[in-house]
Structures are given as structure tokens and as C-alpha cells.
């Protein structure tokens, strides 16, 4: 029997816990989001993040900037947010408009306000196996969901498809920290079926709709779909759910899997940064 990894329900539980904890605070955590340009998907994501922040009782502000914004202008906004003691968490929505140096922008964030864990301070600590201030939201959401269903990571063969800084790389470090045996694949990987059929867990963040079909899946494997692909049939993941699900022991749906977990982790990270900063002031 296949069990659906219900990210929506798990995320809702986390959100409700945060809401209860936030109700007891006099001063509320505050998230700032920089949204540069008008990428339609980014606008939807940022809107969802802001709605969730307000539902929990956080304060939040979105700073919309035009598509032709300069690097200097984005950096000025980041410096102001870094200095503002009312702001606890800063998120730069990615991708940034063409011509903007993403590395330069992300590195300008004060690591203690880096809610995505994307600065080299936090990411470097993660890679070294030290504690960052916070862990990147999507990888953290993946591991939290697997933990929620008591899925073992230690000693398991895990295939991660995609080597992005947002998902593939950080999740591979987090899995190794949990004693998983991690194989990384990317679009150049030859004969993907071979590592796929040897995997207990497959995490796909390839960004290709329906790319992983049943032939890539070992009977009883755990399948985590991080893909959010906009197709003519609406939003679909990387996994061909209909063919893959019967072979899997556990599988995430799209939507309702990793997407809501990512937002819940962003909210949890905002709360954690607020608490860390509060301790600095004591
Ligand atoms: N764009 C797609 N995923 C993410 C994410 O996790 N964080 C940010 N800041 N932008 C994204």
C-alpha cells in the first residue's frame, strides 16, 4: 500500500503551533521580502508567504522593486533592513532579474537575518556539519516531512536529482549529516536509471514535468517530488505520479507536498531568527 506524504496537513500543524506561540508574544517577529521584477510565479509565492505570515500573527513587509532595478538599489534596501532592529528576517525572492549578480545580493544579508540560510556564513556552516542560524526552507521541509512519517535516513541510499543551491546541494549535506548515503544527479548524468533503481529514497528537484516514471523506481522506494512545473495541465511535479505511486511505499503529491512545507519552514525560520536576535539583546 502506498502512503501519501501529506505536506499540507503537516505544514498546517506547524503553522498552528507557531500561531499559538506568537499569540503569547508582545513584540511580533517581522519578515521582510524583496521582490524584484514581475516574475508571475514569484509574485504568487510572495503573496502566499505574506498571507501565511499575517495568519500566524507575524508582521511582514514586501518591498517591490522594478524589473530594471540596479544592483546598487537592491543593496541599499538590504543595508537598511540589516540595520532596522524591527526586522528579524530578510528574504530575497529568487530568481532576480537578468543582469543582477545573485551572489553579491545574497551575501549582503546579515547572516543572523538570513531566513533562507543562503549566505556563505550559514551555507558554509551547513556544509561543514555545524549549526547554521537556520537551515534552507525547502531542504528543511523535506527532512521534516520524512521525519513526521518516521522514515529512516541513516544507512539509506538517497538519490538527489538536481544540484541547485536552493534544494539539491543543501539537502545533500543535511542527509549526509543524518548518515544517509547520498548520490547526486544532474541533467548530464548518464544512465540515471542505474542509481535510481538502487535508491531507497529519491528526491527530485529537476524541474522537468513527469520526468521520473515508474521505470526509475524500485519497489517500495520513498519518492519526494520538489518539482513545481507549470504545464498546460496545470501545476505538476517531476514525478509521473500515476505510474510512480503504485510502486512507491511513500510519495509526496504536487501540490500539497513539499510546497506547503517550504512555506511552513520559512515561518519557523522567521520565528527562530526572532528568538536568536532576542537573546543577543539580553
Ligand atoms: N525561489 C524559489 N525557491 C525559493 C526559496 O526557497 N527562497 C527564495 N528566496 N526564493 C526562491
Q: What is the CATH number of the domain that holds 227?
A: 3.40.50.720
Q: CA-to-CA distance for 111 and 108, rounded, in angstroms?
A: 9
Do 219 and 255 fall within a single domain? Answer: yes
Summarize the confidence of residues 66-77 as an average pLDDT.
98
Can you tell me the mean pLDDT for 224-247? Answer: 95
Q: For ligand 1, what atom is nearest to the CA of residue 166?
A: 6
Q: Which of 86, 73, 70, 74 is nearest to 34 (CA)?
A: 74
Distance (Å, whole) CA 117 – CA 175 = 16
Percentage of the chain surpassing pLDDT 90?
Answer: 98
Question: Do 86 and 144 lie in a common domain?
Answer: no
Residue 19 lies in a domain: no
Close Cβ partners of 67 (under 8 Å, ≥ 6 residues apart): 36, 37, 38, 97
Q: Is 119 in the pocket of ligand 1 (CB under 6 A)?
A: no
147 and 108 within one domain = no
Whether residue 204 lies inside any domain: the answer is yes
Looking at residue 88, which CATH number applies to its domain? 3.40.50.10860
CA-137 nearest atom, ligand 1: 6
Residue 191 has pLDDT above 90, yes or no: yes
Mean pLDDT calculated for residue range 131-152: 98
pLDDT for the residue numbered 282 = 59
Judge whether 93 counts as a catalytic residue: yes
Task: Tell whether 218 is covered by a domain.
Answer: yes
Same domain, 241 and 200: yes
- Domain assignment present for residue 281? The answer is no
Asked whether residue 92 falls in the same domain as residue 180, the answer is no
Average pLDDT over residues 229-256: 96
What whole-number distance in Å separates Cα of residue 33 and Cα of residue 11?
21
Q: Are residues 97 and 52 in the same domain?
A: yes
Q: Which residue is closest in CA terms to ligand 1's atom 1?
A: 94
Residue 93 lies in a domain: yes
Quote the pLDDT of residue 281: 75
For residue 101, the 8-state DSSP code is: -
Structural domain ending residue among the three candidates 112, 147, 171:
112
Per cent of the chain over pLDDT 70 is 100
Res 280: pLDDT? 84
- Residue 94 Cα to ligand 1 midpoint, Å, equals 5
pLDDT at res. 233: 87
User: Does the residue 118 lie in any domain?
Assistant: no
Give CA–CA dist 62/47, Å, rounded.
9
Q: In the chain, how many domains are there? A: 2
Where does the pLDDT of residue 149 fall: very low under 50, low under 70, confident under 90, or very high at 90 and above? Answer: very high
Indicate whether 161 and 201 sit together in one domain: yes
Residues 168 and 228 in one domain: yes
Question: Is pLDDT of 60 > 80?
Answer: yes
Phi, psi of 91 (to 5 degrees): -125, 125
Structural domain includes residue 165: yes
Tell me whether residue 65 is in a domain: yes
Domain carrying residue 178: 137-259
The answer to whether residues 104 and 35 belong to one domain is yes
pTM: 0.97
Amino acid at each position: 500500500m502506498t502512503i501519501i506524504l501529506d505536506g499540507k496537513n503537516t505544514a498546517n500543524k506547524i503553522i498552528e503551533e507557531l500561531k499559538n506561540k506568537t499569540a503569547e508574544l508582545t513584540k511580533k517577529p517581522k519578515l521582510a521580502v524583496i521582490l524584484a521584477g514581475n516574475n508571475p510565479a514569484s509574485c504568487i509565492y510572495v503573496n502566499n508567504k505574506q498571507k501565511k505570515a499575517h495568519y500566524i500573527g507575524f508582521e511582514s513587509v514586501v518591498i517591490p522593486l522594478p524589473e530594471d532595478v540596479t544592483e546598487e538599489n537592491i543593496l541599499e534596501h538590504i543595508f537598511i533592513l540589516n540595520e532596522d532592529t524591527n526586522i528579524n528576517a530578510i528574504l530575497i525572492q529568487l530568481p532576480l532579474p537578468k543582469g543582477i549578480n545573485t551572489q553579491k545580493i545574497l551575501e549582503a544579508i546579515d547572516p543572523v537575518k538570513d531566513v533562507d540560510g543562503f549566505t556563505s556564513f550559514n551555507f558554509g556552516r551547513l556544509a561543514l556539519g555545524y549549526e547554521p542560524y537556520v537551515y534552507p526552507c525547502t531542504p528543511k521541509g523535506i527532512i521534516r516531512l520524512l521525519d513526521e512519517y518516521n522514515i529512516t535516513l541513516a544507512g539509506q541510499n538517497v538519490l538527489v536529482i538536481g544540484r541547485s543551491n536552493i534544494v539539491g546541494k543543501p539537502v545533500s549535506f543535511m542527509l549526509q549529516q543524518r548518515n544517509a548515503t547520498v548520490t547526486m544527479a544532474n541533467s548530464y548524468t548518464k544512465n540515471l536509471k542505474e542509481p535510481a533503481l538502487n535508491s531507497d529514497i529519491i528526491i527530485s528537484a529537476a524541474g522537468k514535468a513527469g520526468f521520473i516514471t515508474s521505470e526509475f523506481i524500485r519497489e517500495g522506494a520513498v519518492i519526494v517530488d520538489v518539482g513545481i512545473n507549470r504545464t498546460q495541465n496545470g501545476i505538476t511535479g517531476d514525478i509521473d505520479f500515476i505510474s510512480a505511486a503504485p510502486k512507491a511505499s511513500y510519495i509526496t503529491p504536487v501540490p500539497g507536498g513539499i510546497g506547503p512545507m517550504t512555506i511552513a519552514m520559512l515561518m519557523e525560520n522567521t520565528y527562530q531568527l526572532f528568538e536568536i536576535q532576542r537573546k543577543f539583546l539580553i
